[in-house]
């Protein structure tokens, strides 16, 4: 699990996204909005409750994100699906892509 940011620490200055997001996601604008809001959370990528997510995203975007599986419960709160693979760690590109391919294979199996 991600570690909480230290007090006063700002979110990262950039977000990694799939360069094919516009052709692989049904609502790329929704996904970008979700990533931006998740990046501003004390534990990046994790909303500590549905109420926090609703406050950050609004009711409609929250509902769509959960319905599509972009946001899912993880026992601690609601986590952005794939956050760790795309945003966390300083993985090199090859390792990050290997992890993403593995996730897709597991999901499709």
Residue 94's φ and ψ, nearest 5 degrees, are: -60, -45
Q: How large is the average pLDDT for residues 29-54?
A: 95
Read off the pLDDT of residues 68-109 as tens digits, 9 standing for 90 and up. 999 999 999 999 998 887 776 555 667 767 777 887 788 787
Q: What percent of the chain has pLDDT over 90?
A: 53
Measuring CA to CA, which residue among 56, 90, 88 is closest to residue 71?
56
SS3 14: coil
Going from N- to C-terminal start, the domains of the chain cover 21-108
What mean pLDDT is reported for the chain? 84
């Amino acid at each position: 699990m991600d570690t909480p940011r230290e007090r006063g620490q700002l979110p990262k200055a950039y977000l990694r996204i799939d360069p094919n997001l516009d052709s692989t996601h049904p609502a790329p604008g929704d996904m970008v909005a979700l990533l931006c809001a998740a990046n501003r959370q004390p534990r990046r990528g994790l909303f500590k409750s549905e109420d926090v997510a609703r406050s950050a995203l609004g009711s409609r975007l929250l509902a769509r994100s959960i319905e599509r599986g972009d946001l899912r419960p993880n026992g601690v709160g609601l986590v952005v699906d794939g956050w760790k693979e795309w945003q966390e760690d300083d993985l090199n590109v090859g390792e990050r892509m290997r992890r993403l391919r593995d996730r897709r294979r597991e999901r499709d199996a």
